[in-house]
Amino acid sequence: MMDRVAIVTGGSRGIGRAIVDRLVRDDVRVITCSRSSRPRDLPSPVVWVRANVADTTDAEGVVSEALSSFGRLSLLVNNAGVQIEKPVADSTDADWDRVIGVNCRGVFNMCRAALPPLTDAGGVIVNIGSISGVQADPGMALYNASKAFVHGLTRSIAIDHGPAVRCNAICPGWIVTGMADDAFALAKDPDAARLDAVRRHPSGRLGVPADIANLVSWLASEDAAFVNGACLTVDGGLTAASPLNPGLF
């Protein structure tokens, strides 16, 4: 376990931070990054790199830092992501550059830079996709499409780079973070929308970042050795329901 070295992108807050904390508890040596300064409460053994994953040189720099700090790389978690709440007709070129730059190019940049050392180590990639890459959330066109790209890239890496590298995606549902709050804020009545969302979760609650971090931990382990090219939904059962309006039955 102590030999494992992981990169987690977007570890400053939210789901990424929970993944960092979980991997540290799993005795993995962790490098994480975001566009901001190092968070004050980040555990001291964690290596911090200020980097924008949409930038090819920055992405390569994160992988170089992992190799210079620890000599190897065994796990890449592509978590960094952004969302813009607009339909296609209102989306600008700048919106395209931002969402596609981070959510698509960023994941591609990190995978391309990390694949050589991951191949040497027999490593693992976990990409954070979304249920929005399968079902469309209203008013989030570029975001929805960007997550479908993540799912597709996950399958391609699995088939092109196996058996040396295993690659899977996690498709979270509603996980309570700043990003989820921004999406609920789109509703005419955000509190009513949140209450309605909770009611439609068979698990009776929204998700928390640790729900995703727990699956990252398992996917990175030998227990998941035969799980490859999969997009695993973690949404408290939300998308298990038929699209019929349950209030009418």
Ligand X SMILES: NC(=O)c1ccc[n+]([C@@H]2O[C@H](COP(=O)([O-])OP(=O)(O)OC[C@H]3O[C@@H](n4cnc5c(N)ncnc54)[C@H](OP(=O)(O)O)[C@@H]3O)[C@@H](O)[C@H]2O)c1
**Footprint (CB under 6 A) of ligand X, residues 94-123:** 102, 106
* Annotation says 143 is catalytic: yes
User: Of 7, 49, 75, 80, which lies in the binding site for ligand X, with binding defined by CB under 6 A?
Assistant: 80
Query: Strand (E) positions, the chain?
Result: 5-9, 29-34, 47-50, 75-78, 124-128, 166-172, 231-234
Mapping DSSP to helix (H, G, I), strand (E, B) and coil, where does residue 220 land?
coil
Cα separation, 19 vs 11, whole angstroms: 8
Cα separation, 64 vs 62, whole angstroms: 5
Of 155-163, 178-186, 192-200, 240-248, the window that binds ligand X (rule: CB under 6 A) is 178-186
Give yes or no for residue 41 binding ligand X (CB under 6 A): no
Give yes or no for residue 172 binding ligand X (CB under 6 A): yes
**Footprint (CB under 6 A) of ligand X, residues 184-243:** none
Q: How far is the CB of 92 from ligand X (least distance, A)?
A: 18
Of 23-31, 32-40, 118-126, 192-200, the window that binds ligand X (rule: CB under 6 A) is 32-40
User: Of 6, 34, 105, 213, which lies in the binding site for ligand X, with binding defined by CB under 6 A?
Assistant: 34
Q: How far is the CB of 10 from ligand X (least distance, A)?
A: 3
User: Of 30, 179, 197, 216, which lies in the binding site for ligand X, with binding defined by CB under 6 A?
Assistant: 179
Contact 78, 16 (CB under 8 A): no
User: Of 67, 82, 148, 193, which lies in the binding site for ligand X, with binding defined by CB under 6 A?
Assistant: 82
Beta bridge partners of 78: 127
DSSP class of residue 33 equals E
Contact 71, 93 (CB under 8 A): no
**Footprint (CB under 6 A) of ligand X, residues 12-31:** 12-16
Cα separation, 198 vs 196, whole angstroms: 5
